[in-house]
Structure 1
Amino acid sequence: MHRVTLNSILFCAIASSPLIAQTGPGIVAASGYDAFAQTPGIISNPLSQPTLTPGALVLLELEGRFSQAVAEGGGKAFGSWFAEDGVTLNNGKPAILGRTAIAAQAQWDPKTYQLSWTPQGAQMGPSNDMGFTWGHYEGRSKDKNGEPVVISGRYFTVWKKLPNGTWKVALDASADEPPATGECCTLPKP
């Protein structure tokens, strides 16, 4: 009996080794845990997840179109992607409410300021009419002396499907790049 069990275990290990070799870095279990990540719990390349749902793919495709439109059209394009009642929350700044107000604030020219971002994950809600994406953004410009200025951080975008079937941004939030690993939850000392 023990011999059969040991042989079965050995056979399973040998038979599955090509599958394990194929997974490589960035393949993530359905739980979101990446066994190959250098820091447990951190997803090294979530876009290579074999478990992306059709809803997540819709959101990632929207995110790609949104990013491309902003790369080409700057702030004007950015504002056009928001729902009428959309909201932006930016690090250290008051909330901007409504597409009109967002468009009025987003007046940058893509020739002088380039905003780009890379989604790192997406989830669609159970009714398939709302979901979110998150990832890393980067803004590039030049200061008055012509020196490059780069800002970067994390973003979180909530998408909603309107009654006419189009998707719009309901909420876009961003924050400066987080502190180094291990410092995320340190509170200031009084």
Structure 2
Amino acid sequence: MRVFVLPVSLAALLCCSSALAQQLPLDPLAKPAPSANISNALTDPTISPGTAFLFQLEAQFAADTAKGGGKAFASWFADDAVTLGNKQAPVLGHAAIATQATWTPDQYQLTWTPQGGQLSPAGDMGYTWGHYEGHSKDKNGNPVITSGRYMTIWKIQSDGKWKVVLDSSSEEPPSAGDCCKVP
């Protein structure tokens, strides 16, 4: 869970069609196609093909959430997924996650950028981590911005689709800045 305490909508992080997630190659170790230039990280030759694949998943997750808000956000979670939010009890299972993810894109904009990740040697599971930022307004219409770090664990499901099995986030203090950039 990135941030559920504020009503939300996600500003488009990256331009991807909503069909991309269904069209991602079944071989996550394959090099991304040149047209898959979703972010600068994907064009970085030091990024492994597995990590690039996971970054593609993140990009589609973000794009879908930008378009569809909480309902789209929740659709990316496996039936047995868990979310761990800052100062919140764990949320267990897709149904419970969907119950909490009720924001619309005009209420909350959530953006996130993966900064690292790794695909398992078997190619069936992996994780990404990075920075998130949420934008909303308080009851008086004043802007509210939250930011922090997140980690997402991905796993391929029996139907061949990749889903989030664990999403964890932690707000960072304003003074944290860029303390955690990848070398």
TM norm. shorter chain > 0.5: yes
SS in 2 for 1:175: strand
Query: 1:110 maps to which residue?
Result: 105
Task: Report the CA distance between 1:109 and its aligned residue.
Answer: 1.0
Query: 2:141 maps to which residue?
Result: 146
Q: Point out which structure has higher relative CO (alpha carbons under 8 A, 6+ apart).
A: 2
Answer whether contact 2:41 2:52 (CA < 8 A) is retained: no
What value does the CA root-mean-square deviation take over the aligned residues?
Answer: 1.9
**TM-score of the superposed pair, with normalisation by structure 1:** 0.69
Distance 2:115 2:42 in 1: 6
Larger Rg, first or second structure (1 or 2): 1
Alignment gaps of 5+ in structure 1:
1-44, 185-190
Query: 1:78 maps to which residue?
Result: 73
Distance 1:66 1:91 in 2: 21
Residues 72, 162 of structure 1: alpha-carbon distance in 2 compared, 3 angstrom cutoff: same
* 2:92 partner letter: L
User: Which of residues 125, 132, 138 is equivalent to 1:130?
Assistant: 125
**TM-score of the superposed pair, with normalisation by structure 2:** 0.71
SS in 1 for 2:115: strand
SS in 2 for 1:62: helix
* 1:115 partner letter: L
Trace 1:1-150 onto structure 2 (pairs within 5 A): 49-150=44-145
Is 2:168 the partner of 1:173?
yes
Query: 2:11 maps to which residue?
Result: none
| Percent of matched pairs sharing the same residue | 58
Distance 1:88 1:108 in 2: 16
Trace 1:157-168 onto structure 2 (pairs within 5 A): 157-168=152-163
Task: Report the CA distance between 1:51 and its aligned residue.
Answer: 2.1
Query: How many pairs are equivalent?
Result: 139
SS in 1 for 2:106: coil
Return the structure number with greater helix share: 1
